[in-house]
Structures are given as structure tokens and as C-alpha cells.
Amino acid sequence: MAERERPAVVERGGTVARIESALVEDISTGALAPGEHLDEVGLSERFAVSRTPVREALSRLTAQGILVQGKKRGVRVAEYSPEQLAHLFEVMHEIEVACARIASQRMTLLSRAEIIEKQDICLMAAEAGDLRAYLIANERFHEAIYRATGNPYIVEIASEFRRRTGPFRSRRFATKEDLLGSAQSHKILIDHLFSEDSKVASDGMRHHMANSYLTVLRANLV
Amino acid sequence: MAERERPAVVERGGTVARIESALVEDISTGALAPGEHLDEVGLSERFAVSRTPVREALSRLTAQGILVQGKKRGVRVAEYSPEQLAHLFEVMHEIEVACARIASQRMTLLSRAEIIEKQDICLMAAEAGDLRAYLIANERFHEAIYRATGNPYIVEIASEFRRRTGPFRSRRFATKEDLLGSAQSHKILIDHLFSEDSKVASDGMRHHMANSYLTVLRANLV
DNA sequence: AAACTGCATTTTGCATGCAAAATAGACTCA
DNA sequence: TGAGTCTATTTTGCATGCAAAATGCAGTTT
């Protein structure tokens, strides 16, 4: 066996959950690129386990649409044509706008604090120019907004689509300025979300998402 | 081993997919009730396979939220408190309304035909008083609407939530009149969907879903 | 009778084994 | 040289095996 990855923290849920979240992180940060083939044996060596839990993790990720099965064999990171990408973002768009509308209606002091805190972390990562940290912090920021809806199933579904679009959004960020710009636009978004008018909030998110999509398109279609 | 279930048709995708879809159907038709415990060994006997593919199917369904893991061991059909059910329906509501709006904007002749065809099948099942057939036909009807959006990811996500709420919606239907009533309200919904005004369509769906939720509440909270 | 303890049983999580499908490579023949 | 096919190797899908965790249960103690 080759070098092995030791669990930094023993996560609850056991081996499968550990593999699954490691892969999700690799994918959402772009360490695993769309279309990249995942080898069962290779992964079982990397995580120092047998193929069985690896297969289970891959199967779960496939069920969530994060991975796809190749034509005849193998499993790969999902990749999307421009048209598919547009469809994916259309769904994201709908979900996020609904989220913003609902969240703004139910915003509590706690939710506000959480959102602001995550935004601070984003800002720190952006200022440090740490892409990987920023991507993770950005996820957390948006998840805080989802949680502000008070609806755990919205959190689930919105996070799922965010993960699926992760690899494409990660390409937006080439320079430190890109990160700072993104963190900056979070600030504006927050102002809208904290407004007491749910239409202001959802329109703010609509604008944010449309912008984001344009940038993604530019980064992925050149 | 006890009596075994033979595959009526050899479905593509192999053993795991077969088990998965059989379980999904059992759950959405109420044959497997919320909270019911699923036994790996029992299922492996029922499908005449080893525990490995059963485990994989269960794991995939758990990843989709259709099943949940018990506190310490075992896996069960997800069950929801009234509050959780409300949250689930809130998501369904948002998705279906967005669906209706988008579908009405993109409706093609083919989509129209498909929706009408599925509705006919619903009507036939209702008139026959066949609950199980109606539940399946009803799924197909709504899926036809999802497909009319032209967005495969909307189909995916909407179907997922429809499956999750399946067990609760199935309780709405006690008599043949319930089935006919539901099929009747489809007709009204179709009229709205086929309108050229997307607001009419989404409001029609909003109304349909609100109604549906009320009925479900009544059937599940007594 | 309630609570605790220890043992037997069931259930789970993962490893390993094996046969069939899929692919790549070598070889043949035109 | 190129197309075809035959074999060797890899990869996959599932079965089986095994050890550890969880549960139930009986017996004991207070």
C-alpha cells in the first residue's frame, strides 16, 4: 500500500462518512476536477480501508448527483455542458432566491449573528489570499443563510446544489482581488437580507446569483 | 431462506438499482410505513441477494433522506413530526410553484400531450378505485409537469421531495371519491398550467399545493 | 420490585474472495 | 497499414467471513 491518510479527527459515523466528506471537500475546492475518474482501489489505499466502504461512499455521492457513473464502468466527478450548467444554476437560483425570501421573514438575532460571523471569516480568508480557506468559508456563509430559514430541508437541498456547482464556482477565483470582490458583494447581500422587506431580500439574492452565474460562465467557457 | 422475489423485468443498473426502486415504491405507496425498521438480512432474503447490495441500496436511500439511521443501529423509513412535515411541505411548495412558473413559460406541444396522457391514466386508476395504481400514476403526472420545465435537475429534486412526502400523501386517499376528487383537481391545475400567463400557472399550483397540504394535515394529525 | 451485572445473541461494519464484464494489447490476415 | 479478433489484465459487482458493537435476557443483589 502507498502512503495513507490518517483521520485528523475521528469523525462520527465511521469510515464511510469520513471518506464521503473528504471527497466532497476535494470536489468543492476543485482538488478533484469535473470529469476526473475515481479509482476504487486507489481510494481504498489512500484511506487505508478496503474497497467496501469506498464503494459505499462513492455510491452515496452518486445518489446525490455529485458523482456520475461512466458509460460502462467507473465513476467520475460530474461534469456539465454549458447547457447543463445553465440548468444547474437555474435550480440554484430558484432555491437561493426562495431561501432569501424566507430567511428575511424569519431572521432572528442568532441567525444575523451567525451570518455576520461567517462573513467575517470569509473576509479574513480573502485578505489572507487563501483560496481553499475562502471556498470553505464561503460555503459556511451561504449555509448560515440557509439555516436562517429555520427549515432543515432547505438547508439540505440548497447545500446539495451548492456542492454540485462547487467545482465551477471555484474557478471564478484566480487572484486575491477576486476573493475580496466576492467578500465585498457578500456585504451588499447581507444588507438586503437583513432588510425587513422580503422582496428586497429576494431581489438582492436574485441579483447576487445572476452576477455569480455570469462570472462562472466567463470562467468556465473560455 | 424464505420466499424470494424474482425480478419481473431485469432492470438496467443491476441488483442495487432494483432493490432501491422496489423500496422507493413500497415507501411511496405506503407499503412501508414511516418509522418502519428495515432489516438487512430480511431484505437480502426477499431479493435473494447477499447483504452487500442491500446495504448499498439502503445507504443510497439514506443519502437521499428517504431513510434515516436509527439512534444506535438500524435504518428506518423517515418519519416526521407535524413541524417537520410542515417544513417538508414548505420545500415541496416552493419547488412545485417554481416548476409551474417555469413549465408554463416553456410548455411545448409534446409536454402538453404528455401531461394530458398521464392525467388520463390517473383518471382511469381513480375510476377503477385502484389506490396503488393511482398513487403511481399521480407520481407520473407530476413528473410530467416537472419534465415540462425542460430542466432535468428540477425533475430530480422535485421527484426526490415527492418521494419523501409520499407516505403522508398516500394517507389522504381512503375512498374512491378521494381519488376522483384528486384527479378532478388535476384538471383545474392543468388549465392553469396551460395558460400563457406564468403567474396564473404558479398561482394555480400554489393553490393546488396549499389545498393538498391541508388535506394531508387532516389525514395525518387525527 | 427496581437496579445492576454478566453472558448469549443479534446486528453491524468492514475485509477478503471470486467470478464475470470490460478494456487494452498483441497478434493475424488481408 | 489497417481492420479484426483473440487473449491477458484490470475493474467491477456481489458473496461470504469475521470481529466488534449493540441489544436482550436471566440471574443476582439490595
Structural element, H or E, at residue A68: strand A67-69
Tell me which of B165 and A6 has the higher pLDDT. B165
Query: Which nucleotides in chain C lie less than 7 Å from some protein C-beta?
Result: 11-17, 21-23
- Select from A63, A98, A161 the Cβ nearest to the Cβ of B63: A63
Question: How far is the C-alpha of A91 from the C-alpha of A97, rounded, in Å?
Answer: 10
- pLDDT confidence band for B13 (50 / 70 / 90): low
Residue with cell 386508476: B125
Q: How far is B62 from chain A (nearest CA, A)?
A: 8
| C-alpha cell belonging to residue A46 | 489512500
Q: Give the CA A160 to C1' D16 distance in Å.
A: 36
- Select from B87, B150, B156 the Cβ nearest to the Cβ of A153: B87
pLDDT at A66 over 70: yes
User: Are residues A148 and A198 in contact, defined by beta-carbon separation less than 8 angstroms?
Assistant: no
Across the range A78-99, mean pLDDT stands at 91
* Helix, strand, or coil (residue B35): coil
Count Cα neighbours of B107 within 13 Å in the Cβ-side half-sphere: 24
pLDDT at B45 over 60: yes
pLDDT in tens, B51-94: 999 999 999 999 999 999 887 788 999 988 889 989 999 999 99
Strand partners, B157: none
* Chain A residue whose CA is closest to B151: A87
Work out the percent of chain A whose per-residue pLDDT is above 70: 93
pLDDT at A180 over 60: yes
Across the range A127-131, mean pLDDT stands at 88
* Helix, strand, or coil (residue B37): strand
| The CATH number, out of the four listed (2.40.50.140, 1.10.287.1040, 1.20.120.530, 2.60.40.10), of the domain defined by the range B82-221 | 1.20.120.530
A41 in contact with nucleic chain D (CB within 7 A) = yes
Q: Give the CA B71 to C1' D25 distance in Å.
A: 22
pLDDT in tens, B136-156: 899 899 999 999 999 999 999
pLDDT at B26 over 60: yes
Looking at residue A221, its amino acid is: L
Query: Is 0.75 topped by the overall pTM?
Result: yes
pLDDT at A214 over 70: yes
Q: What is the CATH number of domain A2-77?
A: 1.10.10.10
- pLDDT confidence band for A67 (50 / 70 / 90): very high
pLDDT averaged over every residue in chain B? 86
**Most confidently modeled range among A138-142, B174-178, B204-208:** A138-142
User: Are residues A146 and A158 in contact, defined by beta-carbon separation less than 8 angstroms?
Assistant: yes
Which nucleotide is the nearest neighbour of B39, by CA and C1'? C11
pLDDT at A8 over 80: no
User: Are residues A188 and A124 in contact, defined by beta-carbon separation less than 8 angstroms?
Assistant: no
Is the CB of B55 less than 8 angstroms away from the CB of A56?
yes
Task: Taking the CA atoms of B57, B59, B60 and B66 in sequence, report the sign of the dihedral they define.
Answer: positive
- Domain ranges, ordered by start, for chain A: 2-77, 82-221
Is the CB of B151 less than 8 angstroms away from the CB of A98?
no
- Select from A88, A94, A153 the Cβ nearest to the Cβ of B88: A153
Report angle CA A16, A18, A19 to the nearest 5 degrees.
65
Across the range B12-17, mean pLDDT stands at 80
Across the range B181-209, mean pLDDT stands at 87
* Chain B residue whose CA is closest to A55: B56
Helical residues (DSSP H) of chain B, grouped into ranges: 14-28, 40-46, 51-63, 82-106, 109-128, 131-147, 152-170, 176-193, 198-220
- pLDDT confidence band for A113 (50 / 70 / 90): very high
Which nucleotide is the nearest neighbour of B40, by CA and C1'? C11
Question: How far is the C-alpha of A40 from the C-alpha of A50, rounded, in Å?
Answer: 9
Structural element, H or E, at residue A67: strand A67-69
